[in-house]
Structure 1
């Protein structure tokens, strides 16, 4: 009995991993394992009935009554509204025309579009599908190599996981009890840096292998006429949305929660100005947003209950003692945690990975000390950005890279799954390279918060 009690947290964690591989819905797995181990702990005397009765209160206080999480539904609605009113579509078509004669111009347009879309929406599935539907047929007709076209679209579409206002960053900040504004600002430069690395890679590949990125046909006089005016209009609408959200946060005018409301309202206004907002579009946006929000909050409520029971049976102490017993050193622990996140990305979505690993890693990070490389107060924020960059690969790595399935579903017979798998390999390697650069130079993530949030 004593041995069972001692290893109960490890058994609970391993049971969760096995349950997730069962293909059952994630919130059902989390809820079921939570209840099973709560009653096991009750039988072993590790918990009392009063602790079990407090689980609904913990869910209410941690999820339903959490002011920070109000930002997530608003950002989701903002992104869906941008899609339904076709503001994002206008921007991509304009960028394609502007870069038509540049080698690799269509790929560059997709990356730029993905970057702007990430800063304006932060929803991965919608971004990947939208870019696939709008850009992939054009790129294939232009003679682009299928692996380059698919890799560019998939990687650009997943930038929203890192560039704020990312829904993932909202949930990660809450899990680690961090200042959401600081996390948003810290993620901004790494996100732009990763996008810039994509652009440099595409330009270099276009020069080295010009056959993969043939220049498009010259625009007709009709298409060229008024192009810059069209570009100004197309760019200004997403830019206004980005300024409304990120500008209000960085400028100190609004908290991230308040800025999410500003962004949702701005998306409605922009759709109205473009003449594309009506009751049908509004209904579709609300319905799509509610479905996404319901799934996320069901998972988050179940994860809150899981974390509560895990801590009650001694999970935190077990993790700390395990980390100390390994005697690996802080740098080795850091790279080990990054490796675990990367490997889990082959099998799980970011939701499962963050909800499983962050509560486990948090006490380990609190114990770490990397000396002069990074201040202790900034360590957890830096670690959060490292995990966010690492998690972007979870959308791209087979066999369960969700962005790959989104793309294949939207692309139909235009490309094969093999083309998609070959296409993402260089972009995953670029993400890993950026991750190592951020480990080497933490100021990339920490410089902007120090400049902006201390003024």
Structure 2
């Protein structure tokens, strides 16, 4: 093994180890890049070892950072974040939960189904996992526990449904993926829609199955009202504003009226008007949402800058070539290599979150997948579905800890861990479906281009 390959392995290993110190990920990536830049330059200049990295090579990071800061696509990020945070404070979710629980409360598992529908609408209008999980937990878990729901089912429903926003557009993760590997964000949005809806349908099917086979785990809600016109009207009024906003954002992208960046501006304005119509728009709310958007955007861009420096140095050390050689050297067919990548990604999801995997792993394996003859949009959506499990798998599944932070008394981590297991299995089944039927991803983008 050559010296630069040893340094590449040491660089990646140092990054993984330093993540467990709790130090901010952006500074870990940037700091490791700076450290190994100096090590490489010293070894090349002082010890006559050929590394391939000198001051001229390291200086390339400056124009790359400039390209990130002037990237028109990434302008969508702060506006989508603003849209999600404003919707979180608009009161829409409370109205949805109240009215949908009345409609679905007539059947076993109905409250959990109502939570899933609310989560699906939040996913298609916010895309912020922490906010979605916390909101669903505050609104849905106490209602389900009051009516005698199994704690594991209640927790698993909230955690899994809350993570749909990472996949269903407008997803911040898909925007970052498109930027990192040079794929159209609009294509990723189109490709992710059906897989996201499929997963939500599978969640609902599982909940109904639990209600049928284990009635005590998902009983009929207490004090249910008979279905009436007034209930349907209430549901229509609650759903209409959110659906209108979703159509304004995603519809403008899907029909080619606006780019994702322009649609993000429409969404931010729409969420503000929605909060105003609900009489929730105050100066304090604007300040809070503005500060939250600024902090989140700064965090994301710091990650992008750190990942840019890290990737540049790792590539200079031959890390991408080493990974490509390793994958091509596996005794598998091209399909087997893609499966291996997904299996490794799933395992890494136990220890890393989607940000590290998106910024570091995806750009390394994407060229290999293209060389093997696979469609990059299809593979990216596969990768995204696989990453969704990283929110649910301990020890660093963030959705688990979001829920634990607001869970009612009597709900512990054991209930949450056991509750997400069936939903992780459902996600893996969904991943297999997308893998074997790639048109689930590719049909909608193809239809959009054929018009």
Query: Could you state the TM-score of these two structures normalised by the residue count of structure 2?
Result: 0.95
Deviation at 1:72? 1.1
Measure the CA separation in 2 of the matches of 1:367 and 1:173: 18
What corresponds to 1:52 in structure 2? 58
Asked if the contact 2:107/2:220 (under 8 Å) is kept, the reply is yes
Asked if the contact 2:330/2:337 (under 8 Å) is kept, the reply is no
Q: Which moved more, 1:436-445 or 1:8-17?
A: 8-17
Measure the CA separation in 2 of the matches of 1:108 and 1:276: 27
What corresponds to 1:373 in structure 2? none
Instruction: Indicate which of 105, 108, 112 corresponds to 2:113.
Output: 108
Deviation at 1:91? 1.1
Deviation at 1:3? 2.8
What secondary structure is seen at the aligned counterpart in 2 of 1:133? helix
Measure the CA separation in 1 of the matches of 2:249 and 2:187: 14
Asked if the contact 1:316/1:363 (under 8 Å) is kept, the reply is no
Instruction: Indicate which of 150, 154, 159 corresponds to 1:149.
Output: 154
What corresponds to 2:269 in structure 1? 265
Deviation at 1:412? 4.3
What corresponds to 1:284 in structure 2? 288
Measure the CA separation in 1 of the matches of 2:14 and 2:258: 42
Measure the CA separation in 2 of the matches of 1:271 and 1:414: 34
- CA 1:225 to 1:200, structure 2 compared with 1: closer, same or farther past 3 Å? closer
Asked if the contact 1:137/1:414 (under 8 Å) is kept, the reply is no
- Trace 1:348-427 onto structure 2 (pairs within 5 A): 348-369=352-373, 376=374, 379-427=375-423
Deviation at 1:360? 1.5
- Trace 1:238-387 onto structure 2 (pairs within 5 A): 238-369=242-373, 376=374, 379-387=375-383
What secondary structure is seen at the aligned counterpart in 1 of 2:233? helix
1:93 aligns to 2:98 (yes or no):
yes
- Trace 1:59-74 onto structure 2 (pairs within 5 A): 59-61=65-67, 63-74=68-79
1:264-309 CA distances to partner (integer Å, 9 max, x unpaired)? 0111111112222111111111112222111111111100111111
Asked if the contact 1:88/1:238 (under 8 Å) is kept, the reply is no
What corresponds to 2:185 in structure 1? 180
Q: Which moved more, 1:124-133 or 1:9-18?
A: 9-18
Deviation at 1:450? 0.8
Measure the CA separation in 2 of the matches of 1:114 and 1:320: 38
Runs of at least 5 residues in structure 2 that lack an aligned partner in the other structure = 45-51
Measure the CA separation in 1 of the matches of 2:256 and 2:359: 30
1:24-78 CA distances to partner (integer Å, 9 max, x unpaired)? 22112111110011112222342222222332321121x2111111111111110
Asked if the contact 1:132/1:411 (under 8 Å) is kept, the reply is yes
What secondary structure is seen at the aligned counterpart in 2 of 1:7? helix
Measure the CA separation in 2 of the matches of 1:435 and 1:107: 23
Instruction: Indicate which of 429, 436, 441 corresponds to 2:425.
Output: 429
What secondary structure is seen at the aligned counterpart in 1 of 2:2? helix
Measure the CA separation in 2 of the matches of 1:3 and 1:301: 28
Deviation at 1:17? 1.6
Query: Could you state the TM-score of these two structures normalised by the residue count of structure 1?
Result: 0.94
Measure the CA separation in 1 of the matches of 2:414 and 2:4: 48
What secondary structure is seen at the aligned counterpart in 2 of 1:254? coil
Deviation at 1:83? 0.5
Measure the CA separation in 2 of the matches of 1:261 and 1:44: 49
- Trace 1:20-59 onto structure 2 (pairs within 5 A): 20-45=19-44, 46-59=52-65
What corresponds to 2:47 in structure 1? none
Q: Which moved more, 1:134-143 or 1:305-314?
A: 305-314
Measure the CA separation in 1 of the matches of 2:394 and 2:54: 43
Asked if the contact 2:126/2:170 (under 8 Å) is kept, the reply is yes
Asked if the contact 1:110/1:135 (under 8 Å) is kept, the reply is yes
Measure the CA separation in 1 of the matches of 2:236 and 2:248: 18
Measure the CA separation in 1 of the matches of 2:73 and 2:217: 46
1:87-128 CA distances to partner (integer Å, 9 max, x unpaired)? 122112211111111111000001111111100111100000
What secondary structure is seen at the aligned counterpart in 2 of 1:326? coil
Instruction: Indicate which of 126, 129, 144 corresponds to 1:121.
Output: 126
Asked if the contact 2:84/2:125 (under 8 Å) is kept, the reply is yes
Deviation at 1:12? 1.7
Measure the CA separation in 1 of the matches of 2:442 and 2:187: 9
Runs of at least 5 residues in structure 1 that lack an aligned partner in the other structure = 370-375
Q: Which moved more, 1:174-183 or 1:273-282?
A: 273-282
- Count of aligned residue pairs for this structure pair: 444
